[in-house]
Amino acid sequence: MNLSEGYIYRKGMTPQTRTVVSTKNKVYAKPAGQNKFLQIGLVASFEVSDSRAVEAVRGIGYGDQIAELVPNASEPITISVTRSALYLALLQQVFGYKAGVDGLVRALKHHRWPFDIKQEIVFSEISTREINGGAAVTASDGGGLKALLTFFEACWMTSTSSSFTSDTSLVQENCEISCSDIIDGKSNYQQYVQAFRVDTGNNPFIGGQGSSRFTGTAGRNLAESVNATQTQTA
């Protein structure tokens, strides 16, 4: 099985915009029998979801008032993938399992090991020239453009489906995936272990970022913010 040869994988051009477009979202995995990431073709949709519950803390005798919101542990990152089926490259095969013509895998109970997914949102030439942040990497396709890299580690499929119908010839496969971890693919694990030392944004003790509630002068900061907005509007 080769995921990069033939007219099926011929690449076209993409308009140069500042807005993110789906044609520059590249998804990679290690297909069955391969030890390197290859771009997955014929992906109709790639949807990533992240969620966690937030509990409201209240106290009796203080009216209908939230004292604080406390975030719970995050749920596993989930990915939904829809892809057109190929005779020689079924969906489970492109994610490394020896399914289809590669082997006996036909169901989730045959999966013994997890897999990784790499996503690159490749920037346009405009954005590549204008970028200021240091979190971007050089895209894998060799074009010299920058890309936003995300690694989904130790993933497991939680469901798969395909449909053969009489009113259309195209057969598409769907799968739901849960991921053990998600990283930017550039930082090292030590930074994640000691995440409290890394500025992830909205730190009120660094230049007054984030919520004014934690500066001790919430009312004054809010008034200043409102006044500044009104001044800019005027």
Q: What is the pLDDT of residue 210?
A: 84
Residue 50 clears pLDDT 90, i.e. is over it? yes
Q: What is the mean predicted confidence (pLDDT) over 54-59?
A: 96
CATH number, span 7-51+69-198: 2.30.110
175-217: per-residue pLDDT in tens? 999 999 999 877 665 555 555 566 778 888 787 788 888 876 5
How much is the average pLDDT of 135-157?
Answer: 91
pLDDT, residue 133, reads: 73
**Amino acid 202: pLDDT:** 85
Contact 89, 31 (CB under 8 A): yes
Confidence of residue 26 (pLDDT cuts 50, 70, 90): very high
pLDDT at 206: 80
pLDDT value at 232 more than 80:
no
Q: What is the mean pLDDT of residues 151-172?
A: 96
147 versus 223: which is more confidently predicted? Answer: 147
- What is the mean pLDDT of the segment spanning 2-9? 74
Looking at residue 205, its pLDDT comes to: 79
Give span(s): CATH 2.30.110, the chain.
Answer: 7-51+69-198
pTM of the full structure: 0.84
The DSSP call for residue 213 is G
